[in-house]
Amino acid sequence: MNCIFCRIIRGEIPSTKVYEDDLTFAFEDIEPQAKVHTLVVPKEHIENLNDMKDQSLWFAMLKAAQEVAKRKGIEKSGYRAVINCGPDGTQIVPHLHLHVLGGELLDSQMG
């Protein structure tokens, strides 16, 4: 599997790990859009949000985002959790990922 995020999860491409559990992996975004920018991905290759069918995996993704916020020290100051899906959603990497953004006041515009 040539998917870049699958390769990061397998350790074939270096990343800065923030959190990991049985179902999820979280690492620093290589081109941060905010002072804190961490990606949470399912270890299983799931292309995008449309293919997310598993309740326990969805819960694990959100728990991982909470844990990332704690570890990055932005739990109280606040953050944004974003999933881009498909072409109009500007999803570039076809392995589902949740962006955790914070560490500063974010632009209030959503699009």
In the complex, which residues of this chain contact ligand AMP (CB under 6 A)?
Answer: 4, 13, 15, 29-31, 39, 84, 90-93
Q: Which is nearer to ligand AMP, 56 or 90 (CB)?
A: 90
* Out of 6, 23, 57, 106, the residue judged to bind Zn ion by CB under 5 A: 6
Mark 63-89 as b/e (b = at least 16 C-beta within 10 Å): ebbebbbeebebeeeebebeebeeeee
Going by C-alpha positions, the residue among 30, 25, 64 that lies closest to residue 45 is 25
Q: Which is nearer to ligand AMP, 15 or 66 (CB)?
A: 15
Instruction: Give the range of 14-22, 56-64, 91-99, 103-111 binding Zn ion by CB under 5 A.
Output: 91-99
